[in-house]
Amino acid sequence: MRSALAIALVLAALLPLPWLVHSDFWINLAIMALYYGFLGQAWNLLGGYGGQFSFGHAAFFGTGAYTSAVLQVSLGVDPWLCLALAGAAGGLTGALIGALSFRYGLRGSYFALVTLAFAEVFRILANSVAFTGAGVGLLIPLKESAANFQFPSKAGFYLVILALNGLGLLSAWWIENSRFGARLLAVRENEEAAQALGVDAFRTKLAAITLSGALTALGGTFYAQYFLYIDPAIAYGPGVSVEALLVPIIGGLGTLFGPLLGSAALQLVNQLAGIVMGDAPGLNLVLYGAILVLMIMFMPNGLFGLARLSSRRLIGRTA
């Protein structure tokens, strides 16, 4: 119950930000931090809580982005309805990839490689068929109105991504406080021991990847609506897959606020790097790689783990 209160407090504290900060630059930064935090949380449900490291979350992200873009551009479907359909499509993609890889007992690096391969296959498909706009990509026509999921001010997008974060946090909270979550954690820790206690490891992992895929696809729709343009490299390229796993690893795997914390930290590092190193393309990726290696070597529990550790030490000293 304490963590439910913490979620409510964090969301309430973040809510008025666009009316307090009047710089578009900072609001954009906050939107990006929340956006990557949400993608990270979606990945965290499967990777952090479930221990199944996916390297191909772009498969879900891209499916979400393309579902809404294609339905809007070629069939004129309402963008808000597209958001829901994208979630369903992402969940279905998750179930499909999960069923194929978990049925054959793929774990660890094998699972990571298979997910990476799926994302690449989707990228190549999106590049070669006509209805995705192929290599040219898809441009969503500009029609600014809240009903059209295209807000005239950034505040609207901020509220949407904050709401999505609420959904992500609630999902994580549910995992921490339910039978399903207890089983997912047990499977992460030791699959055989979990099975011996009556846990259906296959179904548990399948449910986790379906949920993770659905949420990631919602992030894909948000991206499409915010930038109004997607192409195969953006939607299905490895960039999204890396960002989605980087953020929770930096923030703290399998923790409630880890992804959000990691995302905020990464956005700040990104800005600082831009100031120090200029706009040379690809430099931020070099930096991400270095940070990832350092985090895994020296802080395997992430920033959240560090915060918890130091607070425990502090309490230990005063006691």
Element (H, E) at 247: helix 238-251
Q: Would residue 161 be called left, alpha or beta, if left means φ above 0 and alpha means ψ between -120 and 50 degrees?
A: alpha
For another protein, the closer of residues 135 and 300 by Cβ is: 300
The window from 108-116, 188-196, 229-237, 287-295 that contacts another protein (CB under 8 A) reads 188-196
Least spacing, CB of residue 177 vs another protein, in Å: 6
- Binding-site member from 8, 100, 124, 193 for another protein (CB under 8 A): 193
Half-sphere exposure of 27 (CA within 13 A, CB side): 17
Query: Whole-angstrom Cα distance, residue 1 to residue 207?
Result: 24
The answer to the question of residue 189 lying near another protein (CB under 8 A) is: yes
Only one residue has tokens 């270095």, namely 290
**Which among 156, 161, 149 is positioned nearest to 225, based on CA atoms?**
149
The window from 25-33, 86-94, 184-192, 230-238 that contacts another protein (CB under 8 A) reads 184-192
- Binding-site member from 13, 130, 196, 319 for another protein (CB under 8 A): 196
The answer to the question of residue 284 lying near another protein (CB under 8 A) is: no
The answer to the question of residue 256 lying near another protein (CB under 8 A) is: no
- Cβ neighbors of 9 (< 8 A, separation 6 or more) are none
Only one residue has tokens 């846990």, namely 199
Query: Whole-angstrom Cα distance, residue 213 to residue 219?
Result: 10
Binding mask 127-166 for another protein (x = CB under 8 A): ----------------------------------------
**Amino acid (1-letter code) at residue 85:** L
- Binding-site member from 160, 194, 206, 245 for another protein (CB under 8 A): 194
Residues that bind another protein (CB under 8 A): 177-179, 182-183, 185-186, 189-190, 192-201
